[in-house]
Amino acid sequence: MSDTAIAVVGVGCRFPDAWTPEEFWSNIDNGVISMRPLPDDLLRASGVDEETLRGSDYVRVGTRLPGAAEFAADFFGYTPREAELIDPQHRIFLEVAWEALERAGHISSADAKTVGVFAGSGVGPYSAALFAAKARTEGVAAAVGDLDLTLGGEVDFLPSRTAYKLGLRGPALSVQTGCSSSLYALNYAALSLLAGECDIALAGGSAVQEPLLGYRHKPGRALSDDGQCRSFDHRSNGTNHGSGVGVVVLRRLADALADGDEVLAVLYGSAVGNDGPDKIGYVAPSPAGITRVVSGALNVSGISAERLRYVEAHGTATPLGDQVELAALTTALRRTSAGTGYCRLGSVMSNIGHTGPTAGIAGFIKAVHIAGTGVLPPHPAFERPREPGVLAESPFTISTELGHSTDDCYVLVNSVGMGGSNAAAVLGPPPARTRAAAPRREKVRLQLSARNRTELDALSRKLADALERSELPPADVMYTLRVGRRDFEERRVVTAEPGRLAAALRLPRPPLVKSRRSPARRAALVIGADSAIPADIRELLLAALPAGTETFTDTAAVPADRFVILVGTGPQPGEDRHVLREDAPDLRDEVEAALTEAWLQGVPVDWTPLSPDTGRRIALPSYPFTRQRYWALDRVSLAPGAGAAASAASAASAAPVADTAGDDVEAGLLAIWRDLFGVPAIGLDDHFGALGGTSLLAVQLALEIENRFGCMVNVHRAGGSKVTVRRLAELVRAQKDMSGTPNTGLGDELDRGDDEFIDADLKLPLGSVASARSRGKDFLLTGATGFLGAFLLRELLDHTTGRIYCVVRADDEAAGMDRLRAAAQKFTLPEPDAERVHVVPADLRDLAKAGEVYRDGELGRRVGHIVHCAAKVVFTEPYRTLREENVLPMADLLTWARGHGIRDFSYVSSLAAAGPAMGSANRYLETRAQSLDPQAGSYGAGKWVCERLLTRAEEDGMRVRVFRPGLIMSSSRTGAGNDKDLIYFALISGLAVGGHPQDDRVLMMSPVDLVANAIVELALSPGSIGRAYHLVAERGVSMRRLFALLGAAGLPTEPMPLADWQQRVRRLALETGNPILSAAALLELEGHDDDELAVQAAGWQPWLSRKGLDPRLTGQTLRRGIEFLARRDDLVMKLVGDLVARDEESETER
């Protein structure tokens, strides 16, 4: 085995008529030609005018790249706006690179190998069109200076973008040699591997011609007169543009064999070079230049010419190009062989056209198939050579029939770059595998994961198809899924005999299949002092579990958030624990079962210690990306001569409102928005979110407004995703006092017109109360998958004995239970008791209908008490929008309950539904009767309306309790908190910038565990009927005080004026792009200016005293909340991880 041999261990590609390598290779074997006539409407949409379309010289033939306009933006963490500004060449290359690494079995985040990216591409028509559109409307300087357009389209950033998004730390090199770019990239990828710069290398290219389709034929130029590319044929008179993206995964051959990689082919050598001046013109090919490079590749590879069975030529189908290339290839091969007709000749350009910088890798991927299988594909549309005598005397034959090599199949790939940069590579068949296959077994455990259940189900179906279509060894499938896949939170384990795996994957149901959503968590190993477990089994467990996994002798000492592997013979499995029976006949299988369960529960597992010497990676179906169309050119005119007005009109066609500014403020804001979004036509009433606005863009917008107008507008409170230029203009004018009284200022008050909806909702029909019936004993809970709801479910299980029916938005009961389990796990709560918790899979808005069909009307018979916690907690949407989520479902729920005689109703409202009582010195009284506070905002107004509906329901006998919590903070016991909590975002941001605001406005808050405990125990108390409870301390706390508490808990910060603090957070948000900082920068604290603000909270005081509880937060509670979030969220960890870790270390030292 050569020390310089390079293994091809994975392939990903997207070519015309082919989403996958298998489809591409099938098309090649079957001689499929992808150049076809294009419909007129498609050509018009790509910018072809009628005169051109009717011209006799216009060639309406081309190829289409599947999914060219689509992208899995959400998967790769891009907003819609960002996705539209990234050239499809970059986007598709990113997807294909992922697929190639997955097929190679080396996408795992646990894989410590260094991976490099070497790629070639060119200027994409998509980016060029966006640049031209901006230049037309705003000038060339604005287009040149647009960083987003530069990063999204420049060829330099394709490899580094891929490395950034895939987490690759090897070299990231952009190679630009024209048509030979991707084969040049392959050469340098191989050299980088041999130099030890990386362990794995991605090599490839990307070319996407859309939206340019069709062309005007000009005699004597490179493009053919009929759109076909007939390489080496007597009719050849040019080529056609094609699109394609291809990536191969390379490793040193010795490493690949040792790791059990599937070697598809072996790269024995490659060479590159330039023609120099020895040719008739710069763009003309040079026979001597091509000969030198091909000879160099053969010499480096150590493969003599007579061993070649196929040469994949460049094959542009221009008369001069084909003639020069054929002569150069013949000369090169003649240096080591005088034979004739022993080697087939072909070019993939005859199938898919000229893919520009991707041409070399397209030919190489075709050659991988030939070398690996021995299949000699046909050369399509070939009739006879232009010079039959030249071909007959050469080493080559050209055939339109499929053939097979009778011996080892070696292939040479040649790529010619316009301008003279040439590349060649020599491949051969894969050697026999040296690593043993995974042992056959009666039962196999397959583990799959995805971002969500829909994609997990799609991945399961793809794997089932693969198992049924080919004879994949199940044990190696299991091994590949373990060591060669990235772990996501939605997880599934299939345990079955090999013959039942496909069926179980198609219908993932217990007992063969277990699925759950599992955020990352830690494990603990419990081994009793008298355990007889062998030392090697113990070491194996610890080697597979994450470093730092603790071992205990008693489960009572294990922290509540750990998944426990309990070694013993007596204990029974339970929630959050797996029992590894030390008396089992096959202890290694017991270990595997325990680790599989740990993985299912979210624990990272290193599987290599279980299979140090056996197991082979095999190519399996890649991730089922959920793609959407992102095509900014839909809003840009591509017609020749289209000026700025035409482009603007086209771009604005989807918006009903014209973009004409009414005054200087609106004009200035429109200019800011256009620059921010890179969209030339924006209307005064276009929504910030619909244009792709993010929290980081909101910060940029606020700073731009401050720079231009000298005032600060909080985009979040002004409407958030719904804010418009018109709304911001009102706020700017108000602050500058330019147009009198504004429309209510900061945006937290009710919008104009909402009073009509509120009046109508107060009169919503509630139906009549059914006649008396035997009282149900069970509870119905809404919102159980949310933060407070998950704690309420736990309290109901602890304080009641019957069933708890949970309304969960899910496809079925099993999926709903998975969501409940995931919520419990997220907040470190015990897993819900499946015997007592019953899922009602329904949207709250459809509960009345679902309640009738659910288990033949069981809800109406068994439920006696409803705890309604579900709500959409949003402060930036108008009442007319929020009522659809919060008010109308409440009315429907009340109507359904009354219709079934269910009289007990506990409602989780909010302090936002209350207001300061007149004559009470701004005291919020704990009464059911409340006037609507005009400052309540849309969310508070919705809660207020719901309370009024409950008052009406009480008039004919319903027993109602109302609970009004304030801000709900993390658990006082575990620190479990809400990862969307803006107060914690502010605290974390303060720690990140080292300062806190001198802000004494008062906030009302309580820990979530206290609030949930109080709601359930008070709801069960007869004395609570008809009452309202304010679940807060009677005195609030300021942001200054919260930071002081943190300082006392070991996390000090420096005081600074509020405006300075906000500015510092904004600047860091822009520097880092961290969305937590962005959200905090937009946070306008909803505190009260009066530091003596008091909320009457007498109702729960007797309960607090009896329980010995205090709702006031401590520094340790706040700190535990921050540490909890940091352990579970990398974005938090990046901001405060070092600070928390340093303080923990100092505590240990003390």
How far is Cα 382 from Cα 614, in angstroms, rounded to an integer? 48
Q: Give the residue numbers annotated as catalytic, written as ranges.
A: 179, 314, 354
Query: Which DSSP state fits 505?
Result: H
**Exposed e or buried b for every residue in 249-278, given b needs 16+ CB within 10 A?**
bbbbbeebbebbbbbbbbbbbbbbbebeee
Q: Which of 1035, 1032, 1038, 1033 is nearest to 1087 (CA)?
A: 1038
Helix (H, G, I), strand (E, B) or coil at 933: coil
Q: Count CB atoms within 10 A of the CB of residue 383.
A: 9
How far is Cα 128 from Cα 680, in angstroms, rounded to an integer? 15
CB 328 within 8 A of CB 296: no
Query: Which DSSP state fits 917?
Result: P
Q: Report residue 663 as tokens.
A: 């005054």
The Cβ-side half-sphere exposure at 445, using a 13 Å CA radius, reads 18
* Crossing angle (nearest 10°) for helices 664-677 and 725-736: 130
Taking the CA atoms of residue 172, residue 176, residue 182 and residue 185 in that order, the dihedral angle to the nearest 10 degrees is -40
Q: Report residue 671 as tokens.
A: 């200019």
Q: What share of the chain is helix, strand, coil (3-state, %, to 5)?
A: 40, 15, 40
How far is Cα 838 from Cα 810, in angstroms, rounded to an integer? 13
Amino acid at 664: D
Q: Report residue 247 as tokens.
A: 């990536």
DSSP string, 284-335: S--HHHHHHHHHHHHHHHT--GGGEEEEE------HHHHHHHHHHHHHHHHT
Helix (H) or strand (E) holding 375: strand 375-376
How far is Cα 743 from Cα 906, in angstroms, rounded to an integer? 37
Q: Report residue 515 as tokens.
A: 């699925």
Phi and psi angles of residue 908, each rounded to the nearest 5 degrees, phi first? -90, 100
The angle at the Cα of 478, spanning 475 to 480, to the nearest 5 degrees, equals 110
995 Cβ contact list (under 8 Å, min separation 6): 1053, 1054, 1055, 1056, 1060, 1061, 1064
- Strand 70-71 vs strand 628-629: parallel, antiparallel, or unpaired? antiparallel
CB 919 within 8 A of CB 789: no
How far is Cα 392 from Cα 765, in angstroms, rounded to an integer? 91
Helix (H) or strand (E) holding 905: strand 904-908
Q: Residue 436 forms beta bridges with which residues?
A: 614
Biggest distance spanned by C-alpha atoms of the chain: 109
How far is Cα 1069 from Cα 1076, in angstroms, rounded to an integer? 8
Helix (H, G, I), strand (E, B) or coil at 72: coil
How far is Cα 864 from Cα 858, in angstroms, rounded to an integer? 12
Contacts made by residues 532-536, CB under 8 angstroms, sequence distance 24+: 532/582, 533/567, 533/580, 533/582, 533/587, 534/587
**Exposed e or buried b for every residue in 645-682, given b needs 16+ CB within 10 A?**
eebbebbbeebeeebebeeebbebbbebbbbbbbbbbb
